[in-house]
Structure 1
Amino acid sequence: MNTIKSSKLFTASCLALLVTSLSFGIRAGMMNQLGIDFQLNATQLGTITATAFWGFPLAIVVGGFVVDMIGMKRLLIMAFLFHLTGIVLTVFAQGYWSLFFSTLLIGIANGTVEAACNPLVAALYPEEKTTRLNYFHLWFPGGIVIGTLLVTLFVNLGIGWQSQVAVMLIPTLMYGYLFLKLEFPVTERVSSGYSRADMYKAVFSPLFLFMFICMFMTAITELFTGQWISLLLKNVTDNAILLLTITTGIMVVGRAFAKPIVRKLAPQGVLLFSAVFAALGLYLLSTLSGGSVFFAALIFGIGVCYFWPTMIGFVAENIPKSGALGLNLLGGAGMFAVSVYTIVMGNFYDGLVIRHLPKGANLQEYSTAVPGSVEASAFAKAMDLAGPEVLRVTTVLPVILIFAFSGLVLYTKHLKRLQQRSEV
């Protein structure tokens, strides 16, 4: 008798990913307030943000190595405990270091969720992996939309960021309860009979290594921009946080209708399409101002919509022997790249701001100046100039991806022709 309840497991997985994405959306919305409350500069805020990305690759890579041995259920119970602890510690944070460690715990929880849920979804729906992974991953932008709207609502009501973070406890307790009750399947690699030697050979194949490197750039393009957009463009538009809401809203809709697009273009075609729109969207975000920035956010949202789930789906479909380890190494690569890039860009951003301030200006003094003062006005103008410059530098990455994915499309067409000839 089959005791695996696929729909309930999928629902619980979506709730777990919702918690992950709420942590991104709420943190992105409260970054500026954290800087004010704890007197943190952009470098410190960048390090705190990056901490979540450090915990993620650590957990997802370790999870990839052990998930076949200990099972997906144990991993997800661990994720629940890490989420619960990290959220509570964030609510009661007292400064830089408490924010650092609580964010690290949430990052570990987020990575553990992906380490178990990506192979779980692939195992539950072996005939439509890319489509189902897109459905699953729509809850990432969906949670960011919910998170940013909650931040906007709570700020307008005068409710502090601590209460915004505490909201995450609701879906956390829900997914923890569901996973404790349900039975889990084994991973697809185990059920297919592929050996660990097959798995290790697959993750060192040229095609996997190519996708591994591309994941650096797709993840940075999507996640770095999403986390920093409100900070980088807050002086370009009065509603910078709504840019993130628009971008992620497009991602929700796009992933919900992924099936016909994936069927029409194939995963590699979807990735090329995404790179073109992401490059155009980032360029427009860095050059436009006022109301036209929202059009740029729409284009960018279309671009990054399918990146993450389609990268994972491509590997699941085309390199199945890589198993859960392959999916998790890919996710870990993306988050690690974002963590490094976030720190580098935090320093780069501070340097740009200083460059646009009067000669000899002290960044800390100008950033904490009284609103309306000469120093405050100079600091706002410097930030206005620095933010778009960071986005222009980041635009280089999706441009590189256009060439990379064009090559991938040609390569897969060549393989298909060879396969058709061999069948004849």
Structure 2
Amino acid sequence: MLNIQTNKLFWASCLALLVTSLSFGIRAGMMNQLGIDFQLSATQLGTITATAFWGFPLAIVVGGFVVDLIGMKRLLVMAFVFHLAGIVLTIFAQGYWTLFFSTLLIGIANGTVEAACNPLVATLYPNNKTTRLNHFHLWFPGGIVIGTLLVTLFVHLGLGWKVQVAMMIIPTLIYGYLFSKLDFPVTERVSSGYSSADMYKAVCSPLFIFMFICMFGTAITELFTGQWIGLLLKNVTDNAILLLTLTTGIMVIGRGFAEPVVKRLAPQGVLLLSAIFAATGLYMLSTFTGNSIFFAAIIFGIGVCYFWPTMIGFVSENIPQSGALGINLMGGAGMFAVSVYTIFMGSFYDDLIVKHLPSDGSLDTYLKAAEGTPAAQTLANAKNLAGPEILQATLVIPLVLIVAFAGLVVYMRSRKANKRLSYSDEAVTI
């Protein structure tokens, strides 16, 4: 009976995460159309995208502080309400501000889902955390694959972005119903007997702070590139959004087969290899053209595949006293970093576009140009030139991560060796 309950909770969590990822995949596919329909600049689109990343860390950090007090079930009821409200408001959006607030609500819902489900999965599978968190998080790229394929299909059928957004209502209603019928355990920290003082001490430890900072880079490398790939690489393929589908498809497969990889390399080894592949893939995406761009997407997908769940799994396994708060602070750090970076790069993208435009007109003039006119084509050409430059600027981040995770591998090996020596000394004393 316990295993049946565990499996039901796990699969309901996966469905809730599917809604989260659908919001990313569908939004990534409709960003260009939103810009056209509401005459929005890249800076405005960047701000709208960033609101999802603002709401996420706000919800996940607050959730991390209160989940032990109010329970995971209440958090997930709140997530359901925010998801439903955000989806409906998006469908009836009238311009910049309604898109801003609807995306913020969806971001809060997404963060609340992870605030409850990450510690829930760690609690359900205490002896296999990193692997099960990878299995749980495969539904994030899985939902993006489904979302981008739906966008491609609906565009082909002539259905607008409002219908695409409305599709998210179905899984939202299902996960809300499932969670309302299930009983939840207490979090692992509470069941293990760690005190709140232990938890706060753990999240102030040097190892946690190091991983917290590294989470900035892993999240930006994965999520910023994924959200903007359709805009940034329109110069190399007419179906740039399919690059996101391919990348996330690789992530689904990789996370599904995470167990042998994690056991072979250990979490820190997986992170180092991921950073190497991510840097290589990002460089290839920014320089390759033609069909080779799809090979670049595969390499990049392998790189970012294990980042998010393995970062969380590493903290949960190696700093267990940090509990749900530690897990959720990691998620909040990642999303907050992406929100700041997205706004900065949206403005930088506008500046690069202006650099590639003729000097006789403003960006607003070109944005308001009707489709099919010479001015509109000039703007499109400028965007095509600016996109790869954004990726090249972002390449610095995974390069830094390679150095950081190489240091982590060395540190964890030395720590393991020290433990062995300590055990040997105890044996000799006895």
TM-score of the two chains, using structure 2 as the length reference: 0.97
Structure 1 residue 324, shift from structure 2 partner = 0.2
Structure 1 residue 97, shift from structure 2 partner = 0.6
One-letter amino acid of the structure 2 residue matched with residue 349 of structure 1: Y
Q: Structure 1 residue 223 and structure 2 residue 223: aligned?
A: yes
Whether the aligned pair in 2 keeps the contact of 1:4 and 1:185 (CA below 8 Å) is no
Q: Which residue is equivalent to 2:318?
A: 318
Whether the aligned pair in 2 keeps the contact of 1:4 and 1:183 (CA below 8 Å) is no
One-letter amino acid of the structure 2 residue matched with residue 72 of structure 1: M
Q: Which residue is equivalent to 1:94?
A: 94
Whether the aligned pair in 2 keeps the contact of 1:64 and 1:115 (CA below 8 Å) is yes
Residues 285-320 of structure 1: CA distance to partner in whole angstroms, max 9, x if unpaired? 111112111111110000000000000000000000
Q: Structure 1 residue 347 and structure 2 residue 347: aligned?
A: yes
Structure 1 residue 378, shift from structure 2 partner = 1.9
Residues 327-381 of structure 1: CA distance to partner in whole angstroms, max 9, x if unpaired? 0000000000000000000000000000110114211221332344332232122
Whether the aligned pair in 2 keeps the contact of 1:57 and 1:333 (CA below 8 Å) is yes
Q: Aligned equivalents of 2:293 and 2:353: distance in 1? A: 21
Q: Which residue is equivalent to 2:250?
A: 250
User: In the comparison of the two structures, how many residue pairs are matched?
Assistant: 424
Whether the aligned pair in 2 keeps the contact of 1:90 and 1:99 (CA below 8 Å) is yes
Q: Structure 1 residue 280 and structure 2 residue 275: aligned?
A: no
Q: Which residue is equivalent to 2:199?
A: 199
Residues 238-260 of structure 1: CA distance to partner in whole angstroms, max 9, x if unpaired? 11000000000000000000000
Describe the shift of the 1:5–1:124 C-alpha distance in structure 2 as closer, same or farther (beyond 3 A). same
Whether the aligned pair in 2 keeps the contact of 1:268 and 1:405 (CA below 8 Å) is yes
Whether the aligned pair in 2 keeps the contact of 1:354 and 1:361 (CA below 8 Å) is no
Which segments of 5 or more consecutive residues in structure 2 lack a partner in the other structure?
Answer: 425-430
Q: Aligned equivalents of 1:336 and 1:65: distance in 2? A: 17
One-letter amino acid of the structure 2 residue matched with residue 157 of structure 1: L
Q: Aligned equivalents of 1:11 and 1:219: distance in 2? A: 24
Q: Aligned equivalents of 1:364 and 1:283: distance in 2? A: 31
Residues 33-62 of structure 1: CA distance to partner in whole angstroms, max 9, x if unpaired? 111111111111100000000000000000
Q: Aligned equivalents of 2:342 and 2:152: distance in 1? A: 24
1:62-101 pair list within 5 angstroms = 62-101=62-101
One-letter amino acid of the structure 1 residue matched with residue 265 of structure 2: L
Q: Aligned equivalents of 1:250 and 1:202: distance in 2? A: 34
One-letter amino acid of the structure 1 residue matched with residue 92 of structure 2: F
Q: Aligned equivalents of 1:343 and 1:354: distance in 2? A: 17
Q: Structure 1 residue 33 and structure 2 residue 33: aligned?
A: yes
One-letter amino acid of the structure 2 residue matched with residue 327 of structure 1: I
Q: Aligned equivalents of 2:422 and 2:109: distance in 1? A: 46
One-letter amino acid of the structure 2 residue matched with residue 343 of structure 1: I
Structure 1 residue 3, shift from structure 2 partner = 9.3
- The CA RMSD over aligned residues, in Å, is 1.0
Residues 388-415 of structure 1: CA distance to partner in whole angstroms, max 9, x if unpaired? 0000000000000000000000000001
Q: Which residue is equivalent to 2:155?
A: 155
One-letter amino acid of the structure 1 residue matched with residue 314 of structure 2: F
Q: Aligned equivalents of 2:15 and 2:375: distance in 1? A: 45
Structure 1 residue 236, shift from structure 2 partner = 2.2
Q: Which residue is equivalent to 1:328?
A: 328
Structure 1 residue 326, shift from structure 2 partner = 0.2
Q: Structure 1 residue 174 and structure 2 residue 174: aligned?
A: yes
Q: Aligned equivalents of 1:89 and 1:417: distance in 2? A: 55
Q: Which residue is equivalent to 2:107?
A: 107
1:275-314 pair list within 5 angstroms = 275-314=275-314
Percent identity over paired residues: 77
One-letter amino acid of the structure 2 residue matched with residue 183 of structure 1: D
Describe the shift of the 1:3–1:217 C-alpha distance in structure 2 as closer, same or farther (beyond 3 A). closer
Which segments of 5 or more consecutive residues in structure 1 lack a partner in the other structure?
Answer: none
One-letter amino acid of the structure 2 residue matched with residue 99 of structure 1: L
Describe the shift of the 1:4–1:189 C-alpha distance in structure 2 as closer, same or farther (beyond 3 A). farther
One-letter amino acid of the structure 2 residue matched with residue 270 of structure 1: V
Structure 1 residue 2, shift from structure 2 partner = 5.2
One-letter amino acid of the structure 2 residue matched with residue 142 of structure 1: G
Whether the aligned pair in 2 keeps the contact of 1:84 and 1:172 (CA below 8 Å) is yes
Residues 12-33 of structure 1: CA distance to partner in whole angstroms, max 9, x if unpaired? 0000000000000000000011
Q: Structure 1 residue 190 and structure 2 residue 174: aligned?
A: no
TM-score of the two chains, using structure 1 as the length reference: 0.99
Whether the aligned pair in 2 keeps the contact of 1:4 and 1:184 (CA below 8 Å) is no
One-letter amino acid of the structure 1 residue matched with residue 387 of structure 2: G
Describe the shift of the 1:3–1:263 C-alpha distance in structure 2 as closer, same or farther (beyond 3 A). closer
Structure 1 residue 234, shift from structure 2 partner = 1.1
Q: Which residue is equivalent to 2:359?
A: 359
Q: Which residue is equivalent to 2:338?
A: 338
One-letter amino acid of the structure 1 residue matched with residue 366 of structure 2: Y
